[in-house]
Amino acid sequence: MTRAQQTISIALLLSSLYLAIFTEIIPLPEKVQTEIVPVIPFWALVSFGSYLLFKLGWGVFTFNDVPDAHKELLGQIKEARAELRAKGVDVGED
């Protein structure tokens, strides 16, 4: 099972469970049914957004400078320019 299939399966399972609770097929206490169940999708959306913002912030916070990759990229650019010049393409100055 691929990761996409697994994610879709879990999403379908959770949405089916929520729909069964929302339509009162699965009975819950009245207070939970009227006050908590209707806001679960909003809570899930806000929680997911918070998680994604955390992951983005953590990625920016732990971003490492990579001078070796910069040097490698510049070398690849020079190599590509040389190959294009050999084929007669004008690529500008180095």
Q: Give the pLDDT confidence of 13-69 residue by residue, as tens digits.
A: 999 999 999 999 999 999 999 999 999 999 999 999 999 999 999 888 887 767 788
The count of other CB atoms within 10 Å of the CB of residue 48 is 10
Instruction: Check whether 94 has a pLDDT greater than 80.
Output: no
CA angle 52–56–61, rounded 5-degree value: 145
DSSP 7-72: HHHHHHHHHHHHHHHHTTSS---HHIIIIIGGGHHHHHHHHHHHHHHHHHHHHHHT----HHHHHH
- Confidence (pLDDT) at 16: 96
Query: pTM of the predicted model, to two decimals?
Result: 0.58
